[in-house]
Chain A
Amino acid sequence: MRLAHTREASIACAIAALALVLAVAAPGYFSTENLSDLVLANLPVLLVAIGMTLVIITGEIDISVGSTFAICGVVAGVLAKAGVPVLIACAAACLLGAVFGSFNGALVAYVGIPSIVVTLATMTALRDGLRWATEGAWVQDLPRAFQWLGLTQRQFPLVATAITLGLTAALAWGLRHVAAGRAIYATGSNPAAARLAGLNTSAVKWMAFAVLGTLTGLAAVLNAVRFNQIPSNAGIGLEMKVIASVVVGGVSVAGGTGSVMGTVLGVVLLAAIGPALTYLGVSAYWERAVQGGIILVAIAADGLRHPLYRRVVARLKPSGYGPARRAGGVA
């Protein structure tokens, strides 16, 4: 638990440092307009990221979210276009996300295929399936009520932010204080022990994937309604963005540790960097290298920070390297 807290602190420091640089070099960054644009653009990422947090805490991973994201957006649009009321179309998209998530989850939890394999497969299959079905065509001529969910351009950001922050807060609280939330940590930190303690670890994993799928569907909807047409190639690379945010926020891919708060900070850091580099006038050609460097430094800081602490840990748990859950994973 302590590790996660320190990671959160170091990410918060990184954000503060970035903010300081920006305040000096490009104060325009902090205009309400820019901040609200940034928030609105990254709400979908945050939603997927908190879902991903649950999955990663159980010790699994889902790299198919980008494909699910694209399909849910297209389906919401197609339904709305066919005359289904917009809210119902959006609910259907979330439901579809839940179905994809449960499919992944069932294969992982009940068939026992490693999650990276399952979601690698569903990622390519769903993406190419969508390409095949749409042939690259966009969903156009959406009903007027689709954009902004029938609200105005001013109201929608408030509603979307309220929904997202509400869900985030609920999950952050639930993960700590509700039995189901504790079960997620227990499953991730030691599945064998969790099972012996009477937890249905398979069900926990399955549920985590289902929640992630639903949130991905919702994210797709919140993203799609900002426009009046829906491209069929949305969300390429979303999985990398989300996973990077989550792990930068201190959630361990070995499972069992991490917090929603950390994820929120990770999303904020990564979301802030991109436009910040534009504001600071970094050439677009070097942007990716700088981003990769910042992520590496933020992560490496963890490994380097306390030599003493590390030496002790190294004694107890030889090389933090490699998934230590081998022993539990097979049983």
Chain B
Amino acid sequence: MRPWHRRWLPNGEWALLLVLAAETVFFSAFAPNFFTVGNFFEITRFCAELGLLAVALTPVIVTGGIDLSVGAMMGLAAVSFGAASRTWHLALPLAAACALLVGLAGGALNALLIARLGLPALIVTLGTLSLFRGVAEGMTQAAVNYTGFPPGFLFLGQGYLGGLIPTQLPIFVAIAAAYVVLLHRSVVGRALYAIGFTAQGARYAALPVARRVGLVYVLSGVVASVAAIIYVAHLGQARSDAGTGYELDAITAVVLGGTSVFGGRGTIGGTLLGIFALAVLQTGLHLAAWPSELTGVLTGVLLLTTIAADRHIRRRTHVRAVVEEELEVKNSQVAILCATIIAGSLIVAGTNVWLLRAVGAGPRAADGHAPVAAAAHRLVIAVMPKAKGDPYFVSCRAGAEEAARELDVDLVWDGPTSLDAAKQNELVENWITRKVDAIAVAVENRGGISTVLRKARERGIRVVTWDADAEPDARDFFVNQATAEGIANALTDEASRLLGGSGEFAIITGALSAANQNEWIAFIRKRLADKHRGLKLATIRPSDDDRDKAFAETQTLLKVYPSVKLMMAISAPAVPGAAEAVRQAGRKDVSVIGLSLPNINKPYVHDGVVQTVVLWNTRDLGYLAVYASALVTQNKLAPGARALTAGRLGQIEVRDNQIILGAPMLFNKSNIDRFDF
């Protein structure tokens, strides 16, 4: 008879359980409203899409394979679903069937190449990752964003059963249960373990290796489509970038849950624990208002320590098992270890709680369930950029902090570490749980975020959008720095001026699927047709917001299109990239203009490579966003107002609940040195 912990927690899940317990204790002490039933269910909502992928990946990894294409599959399935439902007007079940079929086909392609042709899974799925994402981008020209799904469908991703349980939870539980049966309670499951342990031995044991292996890849494609449908319902939109990077998060969860990447070892239960540990960590950090970047760092550390601890113990018991007979000692060892760690974390948490209480007046002390004296309550304003590391938003932050100091409010500044609509939604949900006073969001995705913002307003939180707007009924005010049309017109007019009214130009955009950029491009085309018929847009190339890629693309462009005399770069890092390429090519006849930050372009503007940079004062934008949020929260700014007074900015115009920052600025040689952001 194996001891209980070997039976129930065979793969080092105990380490994960400890981590989970420690996380829970820790965040209960530190993060407001963390330890509540509502938050528990919110966390399960975040688990659903990623959890589905992770559950489907578990048997794949158990057979010793890997599937990197699940995230891209989600993108393709989401787009297929969107196209089927919105363009071909199929009924929702039919559209869902379409998406599932696409998933089935994608999975079958992987299965064919891996199981039938015997190609390495890593390489095949690396290839299909590009293929699936590429087809999704090609189908939609990376720009189409399917929205306007019926509310009944959105309920699937956003609603609650019985007012508490997220709708997607039962689906997730059902699929996870099916996988438990498949992997742990069926003959097929035993075969998968055997194959993972040794494919050769399994073959000799007369197992249909190729068929079994093929099955898990097909299933993984299908489950990825289910995840895609839930994702679409959750965000209310289907776009080709759905699920970008999810494959690595899912693999992290699987591996964290004790599944061996060499195959032959792993459980669905472990994977669920893994996904839960990651979700708790992320939610906890958001609720405690610690920077999102910590999530990545801590996930890495968690992964390494958990696996290393497991390896260490396993190695020791391995040796012991050889020397002695069975592991009578281990029970007590584990128990002592558990007890020590739990005691340790309890002591740490306890002292921290005590410390907080002792210090007293900390911002968090005012929070919580107890009725708070309204006068003593310091406002908590949560501000979200589209991406934290982007220099553009970093400069906005400086302004936001300045306003927070002036107004004496608490500023929570957090956002996705890279452009990610789903992460924005999660963060807003976390902030609702945390009960902040106002939320100011730079919206990455209009359709997607509006539903959570409405929810926030229902719960009495004031909502302001800035940089990019949500649906008008989902927010109180929009801080409008410049309309997409204004930007496009400024850029096009400037291009026309530099080209003398006629000539060819090329656009270097950000990612092909970037919503803002696509909107600008649409308005640029419109402006060309309306006013500047002499100008011709030769081509559009992506830079993926990477300076080096913009550089390489521009180098090629200069040679392929020698008649192009102007590069219009509309992503902040792309302007210096394009400028450096033009400079190194020695093409004095080509001008560069674009939308970017003054600081990173100063050298090029002074050299005369970059003529004009178009932008508004980002520092003022951050400043105004916080100021407006504070005024709305204090009821000093009501809907329908005509103007507001914002600190150093003075009187600001308000039109249709849009707070107008002013026209975009043109930076050039004469004025660029006066700005530092």
Residues on A close to B: CB < 8 A? Answer: 26, 28, 31, 33-34, 37, 41, 61, 107, 111-114, 116-118, 120-129, 131-132, 134-138, 140, 153, 223, 226-229, 231-234, 236-237, 240, 243-244, 247-248, 252-254, 274-275, 278-279, 283-293, 295-296, 299-300, 302-304, 310, 314, 317-327, 329
Are A111 and B311 in contact, CB atoms less than 8 angstroms apart?
yes
A-B contact pairs, 15 of them (CB 8 A): A111-B308, A114-B261, A114-B262, A124-B296, A125-B296, A129-B297, A135-B394, A136-B391, A226-B551, A229-B603, A275-B556, A293-B134, A295-B126, A318-B203, A319-B210
Are B299 and A121 in contact, CB atoms less than 8 angstroms apart?
yes
The CA-CA distance from A303 to B560 in the complex, in Å, is 36
Instruction: Say whether B584 faces chain A, with CB atoms less than 8 Å apart.
Output: yes
Are A128 and B417 in contact, CB atoms less than 8 angstroms apart?
yes
B:121-156 near A, CB below 8 Å: 121-124, 126-135, 137-138, 141-142
Q: Nearest B residue to A278 by beta-carbon distance?
A: B556
The CA-CA distance from A285 to B132 in the complex, in Å, is 13
Tell me which residues across on chain A come within 8 A of B539, comparing CB atoms: 284
Are B294 and A132 in contact, CB atoms less than 8 angstroms apart?
yes
Are B113 and A300 in contact, CB atoms less than 8 angstroms apart?
yes
Q: Which of B133, B262, B555 contacts A323 (CB 8 A)?
A: B262
1/0 contact string of B259-298 vs chain A (CB within 8 Å): 0111110000000000000000000000000010111110
Q: Which of B360-368, B541-549, B660-668 contacts A (4 or more CB under 8 A)?
A: B541-549
Q: Which of B66, B197, B261, B541 contacts A284 (CB 8 A)?
A: B541
Q: Which of B123, B137, B262, B585 contacts A247 (CB 8 A)?
A: B123
Give me 19 other A-B pairs in contact (C-beta within 8 A), A28-B559, A127-B296 excluded. Answer: A37-B556, A111-B312, A114-B262, A114-B307, A122-B300, A124-B297, A135-B388, A140-B599, A233-B546, A240-B126, A244-B123, A283-B138, A284-B542, A286-B134, A319-B118, A321-B213, A322-B63, A322-B199, A323-B64
Q: Nearest B residue to A236 by beta-carbon distance?
A: B546
Are A321 and B118 in contact, CB atoms less than 8 angstroms apart?
yes
The CA-CA distance from A140 to B602 in the complex, in Å, is 10
B:521-561 near A, CB below 8 Å: 539-542, 544-548, 551-553, 555-557, 559-560
Tell me which residues across on chain A come within 8 A of B548, comparing CB atoms: 223, 231, 234
Are B138 and A302 in contact, CB atoms less than 8 angstroms apart?
no
Are B131 and A289 in contact, CB atoms less than 8 angstroms apart?
yes
Q: Which of B122, B251, B297 contacts A128 (CB 8 A)?
A: B297
Given A28-B559, A322-B196, does the pair A228, B580 have CB atoms closer than 8 Å?
Answer: yes
Q: Which of B199, B297, B556 contacts A125 (CB 8 A)?
A: B297
Chain B interface helix/strand/loop/mixed: helix
Tell me which residues across on chain A come within 8 A of B209, comparing CB atoms: 318-319, 321
Tell me which residues across on chain B come within 8 A of A34, comparing CB atoms: 556, 559
Are A124 and B299 in contact, CB atoms less than 8 angstroms apart?
yes
Tell me which residues across on chain B come within 8 A of A278, comparing CB atoms: 541, 553, 556-557, 560
1/0 contact string of B18-32 vs chain A (CB within 8 Å): 000000000000000
Instruction: Say whether B491 faces chain A, with CB atoms less than 8 Å apart.
Output: no
Tell me which residues across on chain B come within 8 A of A111, comparing CB atoms: 308, 311-312
Are B580 and A291 in contact, CB atoms less than 8 angstroms apart?
no
Tell me which residues across on chain B come within 8 A of A324, comparing CB atoms: 198-200
Are B261 and A288 in contact, CB atoms less than 8 angstroms apart?
no
Chain A interface helix/strand/loop/mixed: helix
The CA-CA distance from A314 to B209 in the complex, in Å, is 12
Q: Nearest B residue to A286 by beta-carbon distance?
A: B138
Are B134 and A289 in contact, CB atoms less than 8 angstroms apart?
yes
The CA-CA distance from A5 to B29 in the complex, in Å, is 61
Q: Nearest A residue to B141 by beta-carbon distance?
A: A285
Are A318 and B200 in contact, CB atoms less than 8 angstroms apart?
yes
**Smallest beta-carbon distance B589→chain A, Å:** 16
The CA-CA distance from A127 to B248 in the complex, in Å, is 14
What 9 pairs between A and B have smallest CB-CB spacing? A128-B296, A125-B300, A289-B134, A292-B130, A288-B134, A292-B131, A320-B118, A318-B203, A303-B117
Are B552 and A41 in contact, CB atoms less than 8 angstroms apart?
yes
The CA-CA distance from A61 to B139 in the complex, in Å, is 33
Instruction: Say whether B5 faces chain A, with CB atoms less than 8 Å apart.
Output: no
Are A253 and B117 in contact, CB atoms less than 8 angstroms apart?
no
**Smallest beta-carbon distance A240→chain B, Å:** 7
Instruction: Say whether B372 faces chain A, with CB atoms less than 8 Å apart.
Output: no
Given A120-B255, A247-B120, does the pair A128, B547 have CB atoms closer than 8 Å?
Answer: no
The CA-CA distance from A330 to B135 in the complex, in Å, is 40
Q: Nearest A residue to B291 by beta-carbon distance?
A: A132
**Smallest beta-carbon distance B542→chain A, Å:** 6
Are A228 and B295 in contact, CB atoms less than 8 angstroms apart?
no
Which one of B113, B200, B295 has the highest number of Cβ atoms from chain A below 10 Å of its Cβ? B200
